[in-house]
């Protein structure tokens, strides 16, 4: 995995991360917490798309699932926020696994198409009148901000920050162990050489559907966390633009690396704001333009960008000798 | 019975629109093997241009053909400036670029043309035809779709340029080796798709009114149509469009309710891709190992 | 070798590679007009890469001249349009198109309709099996038929120079004989120079006037085919050690 950091660097970053909530203003702490929920979501997407090669333009649906599960359990059943996370993971995993079954037959762009359809249909499904009593229909549900437990001297934002950080670290560790083990090798084998993998006794179908399930579970937890942090869920927050953002974040951050999930989460959270500052009228256009520029220069994402640069510099023939084409 | 029949007819009418956008999708797929997620936004953008021309006083058909020409140039320009550089990029990067294009066009349109809904004229008048089951515009839209289909089919099947485009999509290197200027083929394919999309947009706008979100749902149905008919088959896409239109209307009215119509498209896409990925009319390429 | 003046193809110091890997290290090569030149060598010697470099399909450096005109900076399709046809390894047929459509693609840059029609007749006569299968999807043809199709398609360009990459590869001996017999015909009836890459040295040397031997990206032997055939090292390594 590219981007593996030394233990010293990691410890240093962790220490810095723990200090931040005490030096930054509340809304920035909130934004960093959102970054963490996106990072979880992207972790899921990376597993599926980067490590297992299945493209998804519909992960917003799983994010929405997690968010709504958390919201409904908290609002309607009075569950504590932390208890909703495992449920979100379970339901997300189940749904992901189920979606993974027909997805087995789809490849590349066709899978992108099918998942795109899922992403587009999600808000409509959430607004469905038949489920209004539970989902709150178009209005959505409003949640209460949790407080720090055991009388700790932290405000809500800071507590949620540390809570999310803990969840993130645990789930990252699980993912890393998963990928380092035999399971991880199977994931990559199925992505790169499915026929050879099958010849070696790997059950491709099982690997792919289980990966879909795990991926959806992670994204679902990210969604649940985001609901707790934002304290609000409504169908229009989970439009296809969310699915698009997630894929964008995954690709920009660098797909086949766990740290890519973090880079991508920062991108998703902060670049749209930056774009808005550049152009109040057409922020998404600026966002799209940045995206395009990145893709044209770094088709393998930030984590792969350095690798590509090195390769270009070491290619024996200088660019002057590439072929000239008549237009 | 009458209600049922009128639902079917309405379905055929909207189906014609899905069919024409599906045709644009097929055009790009046949010439580049790419699925153009930004097709709907391209069509919407072109329709806004037409609206500007009409508002500036141009007669309808002058605006129509000018828009088609502009859309052709826009499509080709997008290919030359962007898509071309992705020739050797991984599938994902390509998908992301298409999505970025979608986002950019959507946002640019909002910025340039505003978010207010506006009306768009129809060239087909108000007289009652077809026993009152279809409006003249609906009938006209279906007619134009069929004409475009005929042109596309004949183009790919019988013209030398169409053959070159098919070959280029299938095997760009071999095409180079027979002297085809591959870059021109790709630009041409995109230009044609842009033009077809513009026509689709101008047929839809009178019905659903022109605004920035006009094509989002339509695109999904168009995908469903293209997939159902066979992503590489022009007649298939058109047949698929009509089927999807009728299905959407009937299921929406009698089974799932209007709010879940998009889910119909979703389920349809999945079922078709899983059960019969080449669609009803697509040809599976047999390769002897 | 004769002076550079009457060479159809003149290659000097050709270097080429893939990414960071170089595979050709300064090749000098000439193909006289209307003759057959064989390029021999073992697997991995760089024979296919040489042909690809000539066509501009891979990164290259060096001086490549076709009938006096420099082509080393041109794009593939422009090189092809100057009269170079390449039958690639793997055949490169358009498997989704019919046999006849494949041939039409070969002629797609030509303007002389009558000439194209005449060529269709002529090549259907060279390859009767292609005529039988002309409306069949090319992907369903057998390996030998696809090789014939690839050759016919290249000839439809009416090239001055025909580059052939391992036509015998993966084909049964009888089929290979058929193909080489046709190439003899092409060579005597058409005015086309052929640069033939082959692992089957014996067959290639039968057909060729001149030959080059390539080893790990460098030319190690060059000369008239008869002389190359008699060379001791070539006999042992590529011809099974039997006398010519």
Q: What is the ipTM of this complex?
A: 0.89
For residue A322, which residues of chain C lie inside 8 Å, CB to CB?
59
Domain ranges of chain C: 4-92+159-238
- Residue ranges of A 120-139 with Cβ closer than 8 A to chain C: none
CATH number of the C4-92+159-238 domain: 3.40.50.300
Is C217 part of the contact surface with chain A (CB cutoff 8 Å)?
no
Distance from CA of C233 to the nearest CA of B (A): 35
The owner of tokens 């439009």 is A239
Cα–Cα distance measured from residue C159 to residue C193, given in angstroms and rounded to the nearest whole number: 9
**From the CB of residue A38, how many other CB atoms can be counted at a distance below 10 Å?**
28
Interchain CB distance below 8 Å, B179 and C55: no
Q: Check pLDDT > 50 for residue C73.
A: yes
Whether residue B178 contacts residue C97, with contact meaning beta carbons closer than 8 Å, is answered with no
State the chains in contact with A (3 or more Cβ–Cβ pairs under 8 Å). B, C
- Residue ranges of C 118-147 with Cβ closer than 8 A to chain A: none
Whether residue A98 contacts residue A91, with contact meaning beta carbons closer than 8 Å, is answered with no
pLDDT digits (tens, 9 = 90+) for B251-278: 877 777 666 777 777 778 878 877 777 7
Closest to C238 measured CA to CA, from C33, C36, C5, C42: C42
Highest mean pLDDT among A118-122, C74-78, C225-229: C74-78
pLDDT band at B284 (very low <50, low <70, confident <90, very high): low
pLDDT band at C149 (very low <50, low <70, confident <90, very high): very high
Strand boundaries in C129-229, DSSP class E:
161-165, 193-198, 210-215, 218-224
Domain ranges of chain A: 10-239
Q: In this predicted model, which residue has the larger pLDDT, A3 or B200? A: B200
Give the full edge-to-edge strand order of the sheet including C69-70.
Answer: C21-32, C7-18, C59-66, C69-70
**From the CB of residue A151, how many other CB atoms can be counted at a distance below 10 Å?**
7
> How many CA atoms within 13 Å lie on the side-chain side of A187?
26
Helix (H, G, I), strand (E, B) or coil at B229: helix
For residue A295, which residues of chain B lie inside 8 Å, CB to CB?
86, 89, 93, 96-97, 100
Closest CA in chain A for residue B266: A117
State residue A318's pLDDT score: 41
State residue A171's pLDDT score: 92
Cα–Cα distance measured from residue B21 to residue B43, given in angstroms and rounded to the nearest whole number: 8
Give the full edge-to-edge strand order of the sheet including C218-224.
Answer: C84-87, C161-165, C193-198, C36-40, C210-215, C218-224
> What is the reported pTM?
0.79
pLDDT digits (tens, 9 = 90+) for A92-119: 999 999 988 888 877 777 788 888 888 8
Residue C216, sorted as left (phi over 0), alpha (psi -120 to 50) or beta, turns out to be left
Is B56 part of the contact surface with chain A (CB cutoff 8 Å)?
no
For residue C56, which residues of chain A lie inside 8 Å, CB to CB?
323
DSSP 8-state symbol, A280 = S
| Spans of chain A below 50 pLDDT | 1-3, 317-327
**From the CB of residue A293, how many other CB atoms can be counted at a distance below 10 Å?**
11
pLDDT band at C196 (very low <50, low <70, confident <90, very high): very high
The owner of tokens 């550079």 is C4
State the chains in contact with C (3 or more Cβ–Cβ pairs under 8 Å). A, B
């Amino acid at each position: 995995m590219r981007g593996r950091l030394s233990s010293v660097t990691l410890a240093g970053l962790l220490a810095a991360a723990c200090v931040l909530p005490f030096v930054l203003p509340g809304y920035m702490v909130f934004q960093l917490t959102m970054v963490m929920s996106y990072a979880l979501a992207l972790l899921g997407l990376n597993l599926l798309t980067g490590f297992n090669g299945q493209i998804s333009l519909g992960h917003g649906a799983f994010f929405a699932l997690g968010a709504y599960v958390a919201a409904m359990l908290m609002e309607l059943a009075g569950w504590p926020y932390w208890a909703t996370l495992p449920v979100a993971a379970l339901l997300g995993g189940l749904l992901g696994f189920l979606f993974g079954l027909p997805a087995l037959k789809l490849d590349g762009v066709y899978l992108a198409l099918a998942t795109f359809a899922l992403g587009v249909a999600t808000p409509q499904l959430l607004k469905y009148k038949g489920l209004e009593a539970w989902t709150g229909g178009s209005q959505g549900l409003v949640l209460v901000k949790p407080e720090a437990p055991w009388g700790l001297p932290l405000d809500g934002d800071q507590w949620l920050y540390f809570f999310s950080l803990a969840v993130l670290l645990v789930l990252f560790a699980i993912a890393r162990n998963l990928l380092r083990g035999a399971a991880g090798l199977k994931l990559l084998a199925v992505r790169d050489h499915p026929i050879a993998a099958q010849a070696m006794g790997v059950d491709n179908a099982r690997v792919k559907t289980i990966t879909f399930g795990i991926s959806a579970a992670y994204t679902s937890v990210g969604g649940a966390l985001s609901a707790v942090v934002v304290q609000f869920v409504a169908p229009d927050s989970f439009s296809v633009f969310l699915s698009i953002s997630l894929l964008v974040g995954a690709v920009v951050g660098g797909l086949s690396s766990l740290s890519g999930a973090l880079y991508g989460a920062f991108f998703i959270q902060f670049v749209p704001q930056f774009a808005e500052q550049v152009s109040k009228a057409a922020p998404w256009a600026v966002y799209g333009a940045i995206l395009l520029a990145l893709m044209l220069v770094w088709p393998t994402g930030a984590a792969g960008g350095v690798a590509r640069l090195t390769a270009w510099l070491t290619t024996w023939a200088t660019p002057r000798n590439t072929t000239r084409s008549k237009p | 019975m009458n209600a049922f029949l009128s639902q079917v007819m309405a379905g055929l009418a909207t189906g014609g629109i899905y069919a024409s956008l599906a045709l644009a999708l097929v055009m790009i797929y046949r010439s580049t093997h790419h699925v153009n997620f930004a097709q709907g936004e391209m069509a919407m953008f072109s329709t806004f241009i037409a609206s500007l021309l009409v508002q500036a006083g141009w007669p309808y058909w002058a605006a129509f053909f000018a828009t088609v020409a502009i859309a052709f140039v826009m499509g080709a320009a997008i290919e030359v400036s962007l898509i071309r550089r992705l020739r050797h990029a991984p599938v994902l990067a390509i998908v992301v670029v298409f999505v970025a294009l979608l986002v950019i066009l959507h946002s640019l349109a909002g910025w340039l043309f505003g978010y207010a809904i506006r009306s768009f004229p129809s060239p087909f008048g108000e007289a009652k035809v077809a026993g009152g089951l279809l409006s003249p515009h609906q009938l006209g839209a279906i007619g134009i779709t069929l004409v475009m289909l005929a042109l596309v089919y004949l183009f790919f099947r019988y013209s030398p340029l169409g053959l070159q485009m098919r070959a280029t999509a299938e095997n760009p290197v071999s095409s180079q080796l027979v002297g085809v200027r591959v870059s021109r083929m790709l630009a041409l394919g995109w230009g044609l798709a842009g033009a077809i999309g513009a026509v689709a947009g101008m047929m839809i706008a009178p019905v659903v009114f022109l605004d920035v979100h006009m094509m989002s749902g339509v695109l999904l149905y168009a995908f469903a149509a293209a997939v159902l008919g066979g992503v590489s088959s022009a007649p298939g896409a058109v047949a698929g469009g009509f089927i999807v239109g009728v299905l959407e209307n009937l299921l929406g009215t009698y089974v799932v309710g209007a709010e879940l119509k998009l889910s119909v498209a979703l389920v349809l896409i999945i079922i078709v891709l899983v059960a019969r990925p080449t669609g009803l009319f697509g040809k599976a390429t047999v390769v002897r190992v | 070798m004769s002076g550079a003046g009457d060479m159809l193809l003149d290659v000097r110091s050709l270097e080429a590679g893939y990414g960071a890997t170089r595979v050709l290290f300064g090749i000098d090569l000439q193909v006289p007009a209307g003759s057959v030149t064989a390029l021999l060598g073992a697997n991995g010697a760089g024979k296919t890469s040489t042909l690809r470099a000539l066509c501009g399909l891979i990164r290259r450096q060096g001086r490549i001249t076709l009938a006096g005109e420099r082509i080393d900076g041109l794009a593939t399709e422009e090189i092809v349009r100057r009269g170079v046809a390449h039958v690639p390894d793997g055949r490169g047929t358009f498997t989704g198109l019919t046999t006849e459509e494949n041939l039409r693609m070969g002629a797609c840059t030509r303007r002389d309709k009558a000439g194209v029609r005449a060529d269709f007749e002529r090549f259907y006569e060279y390859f009767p099996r292609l005529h039988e299968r002309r409306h069949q999807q090319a992907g369903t043809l057998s390996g030998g038929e696809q090789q014939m199709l690839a050759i016919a398609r290249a000839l439809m360009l009416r090239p001055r120079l025909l580059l052939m990459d391992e036509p015998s590869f993966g084909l049964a001996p009888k089929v290979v004989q058929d193909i080489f017999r046709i190439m003899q015909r092409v060579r005597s009836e058409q005015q086309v120079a052929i640069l033939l890459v082959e692992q089957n040295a014996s067959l290639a040397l039968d057909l060729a006037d001149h030959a080059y031997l390539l080893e790990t990206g460098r030319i190690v032997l060059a000369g008239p085919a008869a002389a190359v055939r008699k060379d001791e090292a070539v006999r042992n390594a590529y011809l099974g050690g039997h006398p010519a």
